[in-house]
Amino acid sequence: MKKDHQKHIAIFASGKGSNAQAIIDYFKDNDHIKIALIVTNNKEAGVIQIAKDHRIPFDIVSSKELKDEEILDMLDVYEIDLIVLAGFLLLVPAFLVKAYPDKIINIHPALLPKHGGKGMYGKYVHEAVLADKDTESGITIHYVNEHYDEGTYIAQIRCHVESGDTVETLSARVHQLEHEHYPKEIEKLLTS
C-alpha cells in the first residue's frame, strides 16, 4: 500500500542495471519516493539480482507480454506514478504511452537527436560518436513516445570526447553522468 503523498517508480531495464542501482541508492532514505517495481524483458539481466538484493518486486515480461494490456493491471497494483526506462531495449507500446502521458521517461547515452533510434544502444552509440569524430557527447533524458528516442527532452548534459577515447572510456564517462543526473531529474519530476 502506498503511503500518503508517496510516489511510486517502476524501473524498466534489460541489462546490467547500473542506472537502476544508482536510482535505488539515491532514493533509499527518501520517504516520499519509492522504487516499487522492476520490470525486465531479459531473464539474464543483472537488474534482477539488484531487485532481489533490495527486496524490490520484479517481473520478467516477454516482448509479447509487454504488448498485452494486462501489464496495466500490474502497474495499477503497484500504484506506479512514473515509469523510468534505464537501458530498456523494447519499444514501449502505444497503449502504455497513452495510459501514462508524460509519465514515462528514458535516458539515452548521447546527445539526441544524433545517434538515436532503433538499434542505437550501448556500445553502438559510443562507436557512432567516435566514428563521427564528435568532440562532445553526453546524455539525454526525455519523455517517451511511440518511437525510439523521440520524445520531448527533459535534460541534456554534455561531456568532452577526449582524443584517444575508446568505446570503454567514453562509455564510462557517460555512465558516470547518467548515475549522477538521472536520479536528480527523476526527483525534480516527482516533486515539482
List residues near ligand GRF by CB under 6 A.
13, 15-19, 86-87, 107-109, 121-122, 175, 178
Half-sphere exposure of 26 (CA within 13 A, CB side): 20
Number of residue whose CB is nearest ligand GRF: 87
Active site residue 8: no
CA–CA dist 4, 32 (Å, integer):
9
Distance CA 134, CA 145 (A): 27
Residue 81 corresponds to which cell in the numbers above?
506514478
156: CB partners within 8 A, 6+ apart: 111, 112, 138, 139, 140, 141
Nearer to ligand GRF, 33 or 144 (CB): 144
CB of 191 to ligand GRF, least distance (A): 23
Closest approach, Cβ 168 to ligand GRF, in A, equals 13
Residue 6 or 145 having the CB closest to ligand GRF: 145
Burial environment of residue 3 by CB neighbours within 10 A (0 to 12, 13 to 18, 19 or more): exposed
Min CB(1)–ligand GRF separation in Å: 29
Write out the E strands in the chain: 7-12, 33-40, 58-60, 82-85, 104-108, 136-143, 153-160
CB of 174 to ligand GRF, least distance (A): 6
Q: Which of 5, 8, 32, 108 is catalytic?
A: 108
- What nine digits make up the cell of 119? 538499434
48 or 97: CB nearest ligand GRF: 48
By beta-carbon proximity to ligand GRF, the closer residue of 97 and 171 is: 171
Indicate which residues carry an active-site annotation.
Answer: 108
